[in-house]
Structure 1
Amino acid sequence: MLLCRVSTVSQALARWGRRSQRGGGLFHRALSFSSGRCHGVGSGEGSTQPAAAASTGTLYRDTVLLPRTEFPMKLSGQKLLDREVQIQQECGFAELYSWQRERKAKKEFCLHDGPPYANGDPHVGHALNKILKDIRNRFEMLRGRQVHYIPGWDCHGLPIELKALGDLGSSGLSPLQIRQKAREFAEGAIARQKAAFQRWGVMADWDQCYYTFDGAYEAAQLKVFQEMHSKGFIYQDYKPVFWSPSSRTALAEAELEYNPEHVSRAIYATFPLVTLPPKISVSVLVWTTQPWTIPTNQAVYGCNKAMNCNLSALSTHSPATLEGGICKHPTVPDKQVPLLPANHVTMAKGTGLVHTAPAHGMEDYSVASQFKLSVECMVDEDGKFTELAGPELQNLSVMTEGTDKVISMLKESGALLMEERCVHSYPYDWRTKQPVVIRPSKQWFINTASLKDKAKESLQKVRILPESARSSLLAMLDRRTYWCISRQRSWGVPIPVFYHKETGDPLINKHTVSHIAKLFKEKGSDCWWELPIETLLPSEALQKVSGPVSDYVRGEDVLDIWFDSGASWAAVLEESDSRADAYVEGKDQIGGWFQSSLLTSVAVRNKAPYKSLVVHGFAVSEKGEKMSKSLGNVVDPDEVINGGKDPGVPAYGADVLRWWVAESNVFSEVQIGPTALNSARDSISKLRNTLKFLLGNLQGFDPRLQAVDPKQMHYIDQYMLHLLREYSIKVTDAYSEFDAGRAIRVLQAFITRDLSSFYFSIIKDRLYCDPEDSLGRRSCQTVLEEILDGVTRSMAPILPHLAEEVYLHAPGHDKEETLFKSGWIKSSSVWRRPGLEEAVEGACAIRDSFLSSIPGKNAAQYDLTIAIEPGLLFELMESLQEEPTSTSSQLAELMMAARVTLTSELPRDLHPDALLGHGTFLINLEGGVIREDSPYDIAVVPTSGVRCPRCRRYTSESADCLCPRCQTVVSQAH
């Protein structure tokens, strides 16, 4: 007889209730498991009223196996922050890097960390860079590789020196005092940045970082310097360089910022011709945007086209006509300058004739060398005219009052024809934001012209992401003919050179450099100032020169910080001939660290230091603007994690920051603000919802003891393992390509389409209402555990805190085990079985036809008849339902109908209100060897069954009585 709602049954169910409530909180908001929607549960795996909680079924609630888990649906505010820190401690985030370095691994993955500058607090640019690297490192570690990643800091240079000195300036301080203050400042910045990187979950041995001010690092750097010097790549010369009066030091191209809004006072000035070429009896007209350089003029050059300017020209002449002429200098009495040809003069602006000051122009200098002109410098280190410029100009700043005075002198001599305001791009010191000048000085250079071809050749073997960055890298190389590597400061690595007191000749050889390198390794580079010269200069270094040690003084220049950081491959990578698998930095490093590393490595080893380059964009505001305090749009990563002083700025935690990085298109500018962060938080919240559903339905399940062999599983469960395998391949490929954004899209598609909208909506009845230890339920749980495991591992590189939190609640492993010590997604080729896809996907095609015939209706209220002619499709459907008609077959479960009848043709006595449908399904087996386009027909009628008060399926014979399946379950419990 059917079990109805009588008192004897109530007693039995009460016992069931006591048993089911043990071991964790009960989900009081589990999904209805008979929704009948193909789109099903969406992202809300725990959001609707349980079927068994309906008023007619309250009696049976405790017999339903609803999800139970202590994993919280939501964490926010201080609870979220405390939980993340607790996860880091419990799961050994601090020891993880050392652990994986000690384990045996067949392959190593080396990501060489470009050193951030130790001159300020951590910012979102740091977050973008460090988290992007960490995602890849964690992925590589999970899949069994031994990760080599040593974080570093760029610690020398002018910005640190200036910030350390503050308002004190350097006057009255010794180099050692300046260096001590700079070191303290850098160490403070390093401590703040390091703490932030750790809080973001970046995996590293934070006690074993590299610092460019460390003695061992400096020694390795000097070894690179010595090898490049011995090969002739490093030399000393007197030539024009970019000079920053505001910093009082030479600058390299990479240390310049070009201001497109710079305003110059451009002039047209006449140079009277003294020795007249044939047919000419007037002055020549020149144009310049830097009038202050007129006093240093040595010649006038003509371009290779006829003169053509906006002035009314009396006549035009070719360079050949002008060559050989002599001009009178307009401001220097009795000085005459020649007229010469030059290829670098263009017709873009001006008159086609350019006054030339070899001391203050790169192209001018190269032509001056050809014609042996004087390279006379009249500008000092402060950017002021020296006494060589004459009493009227001496001590005047060339860019301001010096320019005023020169223009005034041109007026007085009658040489000024016209003055105009010229807005153009002009180089500025990237640290002080002040204009630079070009002036000659004796500096140390790297001859990059001789390295270019080798560098370009080595880049052909380097993979660059995005590929479009390659052209920028090559263009930057082309623009750099030489690299000035000496700086006139105290905070840096001293160039190991000695100068003769009388002649000024430099003394540098392998003996001096290797000796200094050894001292630096033992004592640090402060010893350059601390030790007597007798200790610094070894006697064997003097063998080829005359005179004692006392004839020499130590040099005062330090190395460019781009040389500092560019030699990091020699100091950090373990083997001298090794190359990093990847360098990952922002696009500003195309002309910086990427290039300096390439040039030094090619010079010493004839190869690039990296196998691949990943070039990411900058973090910008939500409006796409560059962040600045003045605009008030700076996003502080500390506030992102911990919340701001304003109650409207919530605490998002570290995983939201990591998700923002992963989800972004890092190869362009990356926007950050409330919209992006709220979106990231919502995405993680939906993910938590799915994870909670999975965990809740695995309560009491131990895969080590209760897992079902795939061959015994329901077909749809086997099919989900097949989809999980495909998912794992896609997500692995995405991480391998440095494309965490694609990994997220693959993850979200899998959860939304394959799980929430499909699988979860189908299996809830089996999960909640079948006997607890039944094969069907255990089959489903086996798959849910595999899905939970795969999803958790696949998101772990991006969300390590959430992944470890899930793993703490997940079944199937020892309590002390952590996810990151247990490997990558485990998928098996056994999961892919011939015919499996076709069986389930064929059924899904029929299901789509069924659901589209009853739009907006509950599929559970209908009986479905499927008619297929004998053939492959019929055989596949028969594998899902052996009997002709069933309410409990795998086919009925997939269709989510009350009853499914499988037949070879539709019956003739169909109900007059039956809804009819038709479709075809293409079967493709064995790589196309077997292909069959199979038609099918369907008929849909309202079911005659009554809703079961326990499972709410329309499979009961009468009202308020249990269906046969539920009757059996409750009877067994009783």
Structure 2
Amino acid sequence: MLLCRVSALARRGLGARRVAAFRPALSFSSAGDAAAAPGAGAQPPGEYQDTVLLPRTHFSMKMSGQKLLDLELRIQRECGFDQLYTWQRERKAKKEFCLHDGPPYANGDAHVGHALNKILKDIHSRFEVLRGRKVHYVPGWDCHGLPIELKALGELHTTHLTPLQIRQKAREFAESAIASQRASFQRWGVMADWENCYYTFTGSYEAAQLRVFQDMHSKGLIYQDYKPVFWSPSSRTALAEAELEYNSEHVSTAVYATFPLNTLPPKLATSLGDLGKVCVLVWTTQPWTIPANQAVCFMPKAQYSLVKRRDNEQLLLLATERIASLSTTLSTELQNLATFTGSDLEGGVCQHPTLPGKEVPLLPANHVTMAKGTGLVHTAPAHGMEDYSVATHFHLPVECMVDEEGRFTEAAGAELQGQSVLKEGTSTVISMLRAAGALLKEEQCVHSYPYDWRSKTPVVIRASKQWFINTANLKDMAKEVLQKVRVMPESARASLLAMLDRRTYWCISRQRSWGVPIPVFYHRQTGEPLINKHTVAHIANVFAEKGSDSWWAEPLETLLPPDVLKKSKAGDVTDYVRGEDVLDIWFDSGTSWAAVLQEADPRADVYVEGKDQIGGWFQSSLLTSVAVRNKAPYKKLVVHGFVLSEKGEKMSKSLGNVVDPSVVINGGADSTVSPPYGADVLRWWVAESNVFSEVQIGPKALNAAKESINKLRNTLRFLLGNLQGFDPRTQAVDSKDMHYIDQYLLHLLREYSIKVTDAYSEFDCGRVIRLLQAFITRDLSSFYFSIIKDRLYCDGENSLGRRSCQTVLEEILDGVTRSIAPILPHLAEEVYQHAPGHDEGETLFRSGWIKSSPVWRKPGLEEAVEGACAIRDSFLSSIPGCNAAEYDLTIAIEPGLFFELMESLQEEPTSMSSQLTELMMASRTTLTSDLPRDLPSDAVISKGSFVINLEGGVIHEESAYTVAAIPISLSRCPRCRRYTSDTPDCLCSRCQMVIGKAQ
């Protein structure tokens, strides 16, 4: 046949033309209408009604309310949702897929952000299971840290507790939160190793963490030092940058203050010496740090000027480019007396404005900017990271005058002692500046300021003795290995690199009880730390056996036995006390790769978390893994956005816009306001969202998801209804024997399956849904279903044409069901229970991915069917608003390849039952090379052309065609409703034969 000749046709992508060629005879929403009739859509008379094979199924068109919830829970039980993970781990599989779970924080019930994250992970895990891979997905929880400790203490209403009492209460709180969250995750249908989860408070996990700590300490990457860190007065502990949130509306009292020049810079002494007393002008938003000032910094390459105030003749030193702005700020003209470069200021010495007798130097520094202020920066090494760098370089003292509660200490002087630096302490310092004549102006400044993300209160930068990781020595390697990691979306890579650049060191010590203790002992007399590979390795073994409570519960001799002291060349055990700090929880969770991924190459295929983890878990995992193994713990990073309200607002209880996933699934107190949507609606919302940006949720989005699933159910119901009584194992038709349009649909199904597989592989579930909806709406409802209804309903039950159609419908049902299964596992398993071709008790997720065959791809077939579509496009456009079945068509095509293609669809010149007639949806079709000359006057003529490319365009043929549509002279068959009967009220020959055989 001709199709063999054109098997090498290049694909030309005529899908859009095919859609345009057909009017939707069956919409997406009505695809499951079991009463849909053949032909014009009306029911046949009662005499023949029972002879028409209409769809029949027990699969419901819609599911809602309690019935929906009961159905999902039944599906979970009957289909073994809780056993699927174990089953797939035990089966033989060639490939392993590891998705390492970033541990959610165990401090409350599951929220909608958890739903986005866990469901996104589960969709991909289920996809990998269906593809035949052995999935490694062990859920975990981050169990330590300040929020849990504070909540535990809040329940006790007392502060007089031992560390062990605090830890016990915190553990109970975390365990309760874990149980609640786990139940929610399971209800969402998340497939995981729920019997073997990991928890950061178990002894085995803590031991693995300490072994990473030991390795990094041995390499000199972990050290103790006295330097400024972010400090939370409300929590009384050091914080990492990942534990901060910046309040862009914070209000500080900023001041312009003067530092009198006691010693002029040598290079300017001659030119400025005769002018009188000169003052250096500085600006700061944190005036409480001025008592700790040790220097004033300038930019060496910038231009500076000596100016005179017109209003009081005062001489001020400031950056030249700030003169105009400062004239406005100080409400006076500033006359420029002399200009010089910043390097000329070197050697100058200033008088401290509030400490008589104290002098501070003028020093060069590259962190000075000209965007705000005066171009001269007040420098307090105990209260600024850049200030500390200057102090380190120039050997300045680092004096902290602020205690753990954020109050001035005795070192700040009697006037300031005990005052909160962020409150009354600031006012007192400003008063001291005013009294000293050093205050030029104070103003309210709105700017971005770091807050403790837990207590939502401002932090301070404060020098203290802490344990640090030297990230400067890790950053280059971290950047290098990141180049080998695929990041989705790629735009997130820049943020990862920027966050790495900003982290000069990582403070890992916390002043709390609920966490993994830093395994260090201090000498009672000297305070020197005792920590080495022998001490840490021993403590790790103790923790593995007894947990980290042993740090407080066990005698010191158990933690520091004689053999360890001997190896450490230390004195007697009585010379030491155990440390009281615990490790940062980002170090806790950042070492999960070592505790959970215990294969020969503990590296996950992918980490999937929200964008807040760019500076959190993604980074802490990367740094610890690079430190120990010189490689990343992940091959791919998927970074999703945050969940916002339907109005695009951040969710908060005060705004009343918080969406509770439990209420989404089960409904609220008032079902008219908060109806029960079930888990699959929540999962559809996740899948349909563009997870790589911010994701919105609310009634509108949830109702849209529900409606989309109902439309999908209708299509699935149509497929199931027309497969009633069909067994693909015994009644399926080989594809080479099928009608061409049926073969063509298999070709489209294969295209669909390939695209869906690619979309899932890219974590692009939104594209999966778009492909699904386009396939159902365009290829099925508006095209295939419209054309096949007559053959499906009115041909003989066991006829080749009907079985051919059913074979394709079963393949479509199977392919569509499997394609939606990762997103809608409950619906997919429900469909599978109704679908033919498998035994009772079988489940979809144990039966594999979409089963498409390469033989389904037949480019020559595509040309034939889409060529017919082009002809029908012309025909339909010429009879707008009319029923195609009421016409007798004559199609004239000039001799050539296109004519031969149409001949393959209709071998005889005229036919009422050919595949070409079926595609036209007409009652009779004549195929000829020339139109007859005696066409009736009511004939409607339309013309067009169709282009065929053979062998990649080597052969190019454009063929013209003409279609004559003539109102049919035949009568309407009372059974099939087509105009194919010779006389009224008589059955057409096809229907006579079908009924005759049935009788």
Q: For residue 415 of structure 2, what is the aligned residue in structure 1?
A: 392
Q: Give the secondary structure class of the aligned counterpart of 1:849.
A: helix
User: 1:41 and 2:26 equivalent?
Assistant: yes
State how far apart, in whole Å, the 2-side matches of 1:169 and 1:272 are: 52
User: Conserved in 2, the CA contact under 8 Å of 1:37 and 1:859?
Assistant: no
| 1:900-954 CA distance string (max 9 Å, x none) | 0111111111111111111111122333344321211110000011111111001
Cα-to-partner distance string for 1:476-505 (whole Å, 9 max, x where unaligned): 000010000000000100111111011010
Q: Do the aligned residues in 1 keep the contact of 2:728 with 2:836 (CA within 8 Å)?
A: yes
Q: What corresponds to 1:842 in structure 2?
A: 867
1:293 and 2:289 aligned = yes
- 1:674 maps to which of 699, 712, 715: 699
- Give the whole-Å Cα distance in 1 for the aligned partners of 2:855 and 2:364: 78
After TM superposition, the structure 1 stretch with the greater mean CA deviation from structure 2, 274-283 or 558-567, is 274-283
- For residues 754-773 of structure 1, the aligned pairs below 5 Å read 754-773=779-798
Q: Which amino acid aligns with 1:500?
A: H
Aligned to 2:278, the other structure's residue is in SS state coil
Q: Distance in 2 between matches of 1:711 and 1:285?
A: 89
Cα offset, 1:62, TM superposition: 0.4
Find the aligned partners of 2:49 and 2:256 in 1 and give their Cα distance.
95
Write the deviation string for residues 28-59 of structure 1: whole angstroms up to 9, x where unpaired.
xxxxxxxx963210111234854479576121
Counterparts of residues 909-948 of structure 1 (less than 5 Å): 909-948=934-973
State the AA in 2 paired with 1:286.
V
Find the counterpart in structure 1 of residue 255 from structure 2. Answer: 267
1:420 aligned residue: 443
Say which of 364, 377, 383 aligns to 2:387: 364
1:69 aligns with 2:57: yes
Task: Tell me which amino acid in the other structure corresponds to 1:870.
Answer: P
Say if 1:512 and 1:538, in contact at 8 Å, map to a contact too: no
Residues 84-118 of structure 1: CA distance to partner in whole angstroms, max 9, x if unpaired?
A: 00000000000000000000111111111111111
Q: Distance in 2 between matches of 1:152 and 1:232?
A: 30
Q: Given the alignment of the two structures, is residue 191 of structure 1 paired with residue 179 of structure 2, yes or no?
A: yes
Question: Sequence identity, in percent?
Answer: 78
Letter aligned with residue 152 of structure 1? G
For structure 2, list consecutive stretches of 5 or more residues without a partner in the other structure: 1-20, 305-317, 328-332
Structure-1 separation of matches of 2:903 and 2:349: 104
Q: Residues 275, 45 of structure 1: CA spacing in aligned structure 2 closer, same or farther, 3 A cutoff?
A: closer
**Partners of 1:323 and 1:754 in 2: CA distance:** 78
User: 322-331 or 95-104, which moves further after superposition?
Assistant: 322-331
The code of the aligned residue for 2:98 comes to C
Change in Cα spacing, 1:382 to 1:54, as seen in structure 2 (3 Å) is closer
Q: Does 1:866 align with 2:891?
A: yes
Give the alignment partner of residue 566 of structure 1, picking from 582, 590, 602: 590
Q: Is the 8 A contact 2:34 2:54 kept in 1?
A: no
Deviation at 1:171, TM superposition (A): 2.1
Specify the alignment match of 2:107 in structure 1.
119
Once residues 604 and 630 of structure 2 are traced to their aligned partners in structure 1, the CA distance between those partners, rounded to angstroms, is 15
| Letter of the structure 1 residue corresponding to residue 613 of structure 2 | Q
Candidates 475, 495, 498, aligned match of 2:518: 495
> C-alpha displacement at 1:894, in angstroms?
1.0
Please list every run of at least 4 consecutive aligned residues from structure 1 whose deviation after the TM superposition is greater than 6 angstroms: none
Deviation at 1:217, TM superposition (A): 0.7
Which residue number corresponds to residue 616 of structure 2? 592
The correspondence of residues 765-914 of structure 1 with structure 2, limited to 5 A, is: 765-833=790-858, 835-914=860-939
Match of 2:987 among 949, 962, 966: 962
Q: Measure the CA separation in 2 of the matches of 1:249 and 1:179.
A: 17
TM superposition shift of 1:275:
3.0
**For residues 267 and 316 of structure 1, what CA distance do their matches in structure 2 show?**
25
Shift of 1:167: 5.8
Letter in 1 for 2:499: M
- Aligned match of 1:691: 716
Q: Distance in 2 between matches of 1:167 and 1:869?
A: 89
Letter in 2 for 1:141: V
SS at match of 2:135: strand
Find the aligned partners of 1:516 and 1:55 in 2 and give their Cα distance: 82
Residue 756 of structure 2 aligns with which residue?
A: 731
SS at match of 2:108: coil
- Does the 8 Å CA contact 1:170/1:178 hold for their aligned counterparts? no
5 Å-filtered alignment, 1:91-240, equals: 91-166=79-154, 168=156, 171-240=159-228
1:325 aligns with 2:313: no
Moved more, 657-666 or 871-880: 871-880
State the alpha-carbon separation in 2 of the partners of residues 320 and 893 from structure 1: 89
Q: Which moved more, 1:844-853 or 1:927-936?
A: 927-936
Aligned-partner SS, 2:45: helix
Describe the superposition over 1:780-811 as per-residue Cα deviations: whole angstroms up to 9, x where unpaired. 10110000000000000000000000000000
Q: C-alpha distance in 2, partners of 1:316/1:426?
A: 36
Distance 1:339 1:834 in 2: 79
Secondary structure of the residue aligned to 1:880 is coil
C-alpha distance in structure 2 between counterparts of 1:834 and 1:129, whole Å:
41
Deviation at 1:168, TM superposition (A): 4.2
Cα gap change, 1:394/1:240 in structure 2, threshold over 3 Å: closer, same or farther?
same
Deviation at 1:265, TM superposition (A): 1.1
RMSD: 1.5
Cα distance, 1:345 vs. partner?
A: 1.8
AA matched with 1:204: A
The farther-off stretch of 647-656 and 450-459 is: 647-656
Secondary structure at 2:904's aligned position in 1?
A: helix
**2:549 aligned residue:** 526
Task: Output the amino acid matched with 1:738.
Answer: F
1:834–1:925 Cα contact (<8 Å) kept? no
How much does 1:163 deviate?
1.1
Decide whether aligned partners of structure 1 residues 172 and 714 sit closer, same or farther in structure 2, where only a CA change above 3 A counts: same
- Range with bigger deviation, 567-576 or 811-820: 567-576
CA distance in 1, matches of 2:511, 2:259: 37
Q: Does structure 1 residue 626 correspond to structure 2 residue 611?
A: no
Match of 2:308 in 1: none
Q: Is the CA contact 1:95–1:205 (under 8 Å) kept in the aligned structure 2?
A: no
For 1:751 and 1:801, the matched residues in 2 are separated by 20
Q: CA deviation at 1:261?
A: 1.1
For 1:875-896, what per-residue CA distance to the aligned partner results, in whole angstroms no more than 9, with x for missing partners? 1111111111111111111111
Taking the aligned partners of 1:433 and 1:289, their CA distance within structure 2 comes to: 20
Stretch moving more, 274-283 or 680-689? 274-283
Match of 1:578 among 577, 599, 602: 602
What is the identity, as a one-letter code, of the residue corresponding to 1:240? Answer: P
Q: In 2, Cα distance between the equivalents of 1:534 and 1:638?
A: 50
TM-score (structure 1 length as normaliser): 0.95
Q: Deviations over 1:587-642 (max 9, x none)?
A: 10000001001100111000111111111100101111111111111111111111
Correspondence for 2:12: none
CA contact (8 A) 1:509 1:541 kept: no
Counterpart in 1 of 2:684?
659
Q: Distance in 2 between matches of 1:714 and 1:862?
A: 23
| Separation (CA, whole Å) in 2 of partners of 1:509 and 1:121 | 40
In the superposition, relative to structure 1, how do residues 415 and 832 fare at CA in structure 2: closer, same or farther (>3 Å)? closer
- Say which of 324, 334, 339 aligns to 1:313: 334
More deviation in 810-819 or 353-362? 353-362
Task: Please give the secondary structure, in 1, of the residue aligned with 2:598.
Answer: coil
Distance 1:173 1:806 in 2: 57
CA distance in structure 2 between the partners assigned to 1:522 and 1:954 by the alignment: 85
TM-score when normalising by structure 2:
0.92
Deviations along 1:309-349, one digit per CA (max 9) or x if unpaired, are 40443545543443323322222232222222222222222
Residues 577-586 or 653-662, more deviating:
577-586
More contact order relative to length (CA 8 Å, sep ≥ 6) = 2
What's the offset of the Cα at 1:539? 2.5
Q: What is the aligned partner in structure 2 of residue 433 from structure 1?
A: 456
1:557 partnered with 2:581: yes
Partner Cα separation in structure 2 for residue 547 and residue 227 of structure 1:
24
